[in-house]
Chain A
Amino acid sequence: MSLRVDISHRYGDFTLQLAFEAHTGITALFGRSGAGKTTAINAIAGLLRPDAGRIVLEDEVLFDSGVGIHVPVAQRRLGTVFQDARLFPHLSVRDNLNFGARYAPPGASGPGFDDVVSLLGLALLLDRAPTALSGGEKQRVALGRALLSRPRMLLMDEPLASLDGPRKQEILPYLERLRDGDLRLPILYVSHAVDEIARLADTLVLLQDGRVAAQGPLYDVMSDPAAVPLLGVREAGAVIEAQVIAHADDGLATLQISAGQLELPGVQAPVGSNVRLRVLAQDVILSKGVPEGLSSVNILPVCILTVQPGDGPGAAIALQAGRDRLLARVTARAIHEMGLVAGMTCYAILKATTVAPGSIGR
């Protein structure tokens, strides 16, 4: 199942010009507020009719301005999860979950009621009213409700944006289960939170001022120096995959990545499992010689791929570390004084605190 979007829409001074594809897995649409994310999702859901373009799901045209096709919302069968859960206040959780089931065409595949209840941990909430739910619980019910309408795809419009940190952490594992389970639904996930995207997305589309500024596999886009200004200098950083190989008594875990081993705290995943590490660019220190006598033990041999000066005093450096790419942010002065150029080998020091527990998934 794949979604192809190529639309343009104008409102006021703003023009959205959006072209991307989403396949099985999570495609994240990232942009600051006002970048056009919600307009994009409303256009795909059918809640808004764009000025021009085409939206095609697999081989069905949902929208085509050229021939005047605009499939009504109800017939698109795209499960949508909104930022404000939009649960029906007059229905119990159970009735909310069952709301869409009767409209699915006979034979539409999808998870059953019990599967969804156990996937999202809703068993104890079924007889409650939506008003008696916490924000995180509401979003889980909204997600379950969308899944039970047997959608062909899921659209999620900043589903975690209205939740505080702990509530977010509570719901992220459910989204990972959804991604890694056997539902095989394509998910379009709109967000302005880099940590969510780093943890969840397979493919990343970066929006800026209504246009696609970069798109591609998450690992590639996140390690691209050009993405630094789009993600924000504090949030930019590569995402790499690692395997947990040991847990020590002092709380540190040993993780294997292609360039070597890392010792990190706060890793809960069991030995043998794969996790995602988010290495913030500003937490990577470069050294020309083998660093000695440092408090950090996470030192990797790397090769400089590109050096990209920024607007201010900082610059982004793309690094090859084994088969993975890393991103480092250093000052332009350091680049000059150390003579850092593409092709040079050096050492990257990763602070052990680089990886927040929440950034580790899968």
Chain B
Amino acid sequence: MNVDAAAWDALRLSLWVACWATVLAIPLALWVAWLLARKEFWGKSALNALVHLPLVLPPVVTGYLLLTLFGRTGPLGRALESIGLSVAFHWTGAVIAALVMGFPLMVRAMRLAIEAVDPKLEEAAATLGAPRWAVFGRVTLPLIAPGILAGAVMGFAKAMGEFGATITFVANIPGQTQTLPSAIWSALQIPGGEGQAIAMVVMACIVALGAVVLSEALARRVAAKISGA
């Protein structure tokens, strides 16, 4: 089967966007997960609801809201524009859409991991003289590493598969914002495009399977390290 260059472009863009979205979301998700797991503050349930919103909203609604916020005339869009970063109808916008959609899944996995760490271990580290950042870096972080990994894989998978919010927010411009799901959808709109679509479906399956296998292997290694074996 002859695979169109546009299909490879879509795959490359999807991987690129998903990697960026995952890498950018990890620290932010970790911070939010830590806030939700360990801190009591005013507006905690509001934050929790906001984080989970993309999970329950129709993706097209999330995409529209992103367009309103980040579009050329949107408040955040203008702010980004002023530092020379354009996101509307640009691959960076696809990163934002993927990040927002995957964020609740990442926060959830990380929050569970943080809640599983006994705060008494962190207290013990403090009594040994470790400052706060060192307690986090040497005790909390290694113990929640599997949770972070799980969250990252979920976020990556979501980013690879994200369609509704992306196409609403940044449209479907080949080579620019046409991710793999968008490209599959486009191919299916064209009479005789099934062949192209099937090629990309195979790609999507391979990437998804690869991600699962890789994360399993990583999780095993991390778990072995943590149990000290």
Give A contacts to B, CB under 8 Å.
45-47, 72-80, 82, 84, 86, 88-92, 99-100, 103-104, 128-131, 145-146, 149, 155
Contacts and interface: CB of A to CB of B under 8 A. Distances in A.
Nearest to B124: A86
Nearest to B123: A47
Given A79-B127, A88-B138, 12 more contacts: A73-B127, A77-B129, A79-B128, A82-B120, A88-B124, A89-B121, A103-B128, A103-B129, A146-B127, A149-B127, A149-B128, A149-B129
Interface string B111-128: 000000010110111111
A89 B143 contact: yes
Contact of A100 (B120, B128, B142): B128
B11 to A, nearest CB: 37
**What's the dominant secondary structure at chain B's contact region?**
helix
Contacts of B139: 88
A231 B95 CA distance: 68
A186 to B, nearest CB: 16
Contacts of A145: 128
Contacts of A100: 128-130
Nearest to A129: B228
A84 B138 contact: no
A99 B125 contact: yes
B228 A80 contact: no
Given A90-B143, A99-B138, A103-B134, A73 B126 contact: yes
Interface in B120-156: 120-121, 123-132, 134-135, 138-139, 142-143
B218 interface: no
Contacts, number: 79
B227 interface: yes
A285 B70 CA distance: 90
A129 B126 contact: no
Contacts of A77: 129
Nearest to A92: B228
A145 B121 CA distance: 13
A78 B118 CA distance: 21
Interface of B: 118, 120-121, 123-132, 134-135, 138-139, 142-143, 225-229
6 smallest beta-carbon distances between A and B, as pairs: A129-B228, A103-B129, A100-B128, A86-B124, A80-B127, A73-B126
Contacts of A79: 127-128
A64 B5 CA distance: 72
Contacts of B128: 74, 79, 99-100, 103, 145-146, 149
Nearest to B135: A74
Nearest to A103: B129
A84 B120 contact: yes
B228 A90 contact: yes
21 contacts: A47-B126, A74-B129, A74-B135, A75-B129, A76-B127, A79-B127, A80-B124, A86-B123, A89-B121, A89-B226, A90-B142, A90-B226, A90-B227, A99-B130, A103-B128, A103-B129, A103-B134, A128-B228, A129-B228, A146-B128, A149-B127
Given A82-B120, A90-B226, A91-B228, A103 B127 contact: no
Contact of A130 (B132, B134, B228): B228
